[in-house]
Structure 1
């Protein structure tokens, strides 16, 4: 069931790419391709989330001898044991930003037999849960618009600095 519509338009993520940016500085990012064709990027996400999301997408198991596993690896490997959690998870909505820290917040909705519970989470962790259980992810259009405007301004400022003698 999609999240209830409020005054904020929510865009569904159609695909997710978790990667380390190819050019320096190498930054772990999650890029959500949205239903309107735009992208929403989460920067500086934990590296282990990038690895775990990529393992989920590739159905890859942990096989490197001696490699330490993360909580995300364990959750993915024990997927069948935590299916009950997935049955109650409905969707993830990224719709908040703290303008003092510039950190986003995701709301994860659970339906506990008619009783709805919403938990505020770190977006990358919420995205991992949604991907683990194949649940929809939504992003506030307002946040996407704000991110695009911020990136446009930053790009213009960089160009102006490059023109300075």
Structure 2
């Protein structure tokens, strides 16, 4: 069930791509492709989330062992069948807040506990991982997407002005 619509339009994420930006400095990001064709990017996400999301997308249920230590995301992926109850209660994730003093986003994970709804404020990358783990929808505030595009446009224009003689 989609989240209740408010005055803020919510855009559903059609796909999730987790990667490391190849150009230095290498930055781990999550890119959400939205239903209106635009993208919403979360920068500087934990590297472990990028790895875990890529394992989920590739269908790898067993983390690559070897010299690497496992993360909580590896454990959750491995024990998915044991925590199915959590997945049954998770309805969706919504990224709809930003703290303008820190420029950090907040996501809300919505759980239906038999008619009692519980909303947990979470780190967006963690909420996205849960949603992907249990194949639940992810929504992003159109307002935040618009603001991110405007910020990136202004930053690009400023950078071009600095280069011009």
The answer to whether the superposition gives a TM-score over 0.5 is yes
- Alpha-carbon distance between aligned partners in 1 of 2:12 and 2:126, rounded to the nearest angstrom: 17
Aligned to 1:69: 70
- Alpha-carbon distance between aligned partners in 2 of 1:93 and 1:127, rounded to the nearest angstrom: 9
Aligned to 1:54: 54
Aligned length: 164
Aligned to 2:38: 38
Deviation readout 1:113-141 (Å, 9 max, x if unpaired): 00000000000000000000000000000
Aligned to 1:152: 153
Structure 1 residue 65: Cα displacement: 2.2
Aligned to 2:14: 14
Q: In the alignment, is residue 27 of structure 1 matched against residue 24 of structure 2? A: no
1:111-150 counterparts in 2 under 5 A?
111-150=112-151
Deviation readout 1:21-75 (Å, 9 max, x if unpaired): 0111100000000000000000000000000000000012223323200000000
Deviation readout 1:93-123 (Å, 9 max, x if unpaired): 0000000000000000000000000000000
Listed as ranges, the gaps of 5+ residues in structure 2 are none
- Alpha-carbon distance between aligned partners in 1 of 2:86 and 2:22, rounded to the nearest angstrom: 35
Listed as ranges, the gaps of 5+ residues in structure 1 are none
TM-score, normalisation: structure 1: 0.98
Provide the secondary structure at the position in 1 that maps to 2:110.
strand
- Alpha-carbon distance between aligned partners in 1 of 2:67 and 2:88, rounded to the nearest angstrom: 33
Provide the secondary structure at the position in 2 that maps to 1:30.
strand
Provide the secondary structure at the position in 1 that maps to 2:153.
helix
Provide the secondary structure at the position in 2 that maps to 1:129.
helix
TM-score, normalisation: structure 2: 0.98
Aligned to 1:80: 81
- Alpha-carbon distance between aligned partners in 1 of 2:117 and 2:63, rounded to the nearest angstrom: 34
Q: CA RMSD in A?
A: 0.7
Aligned to 1:105: 106
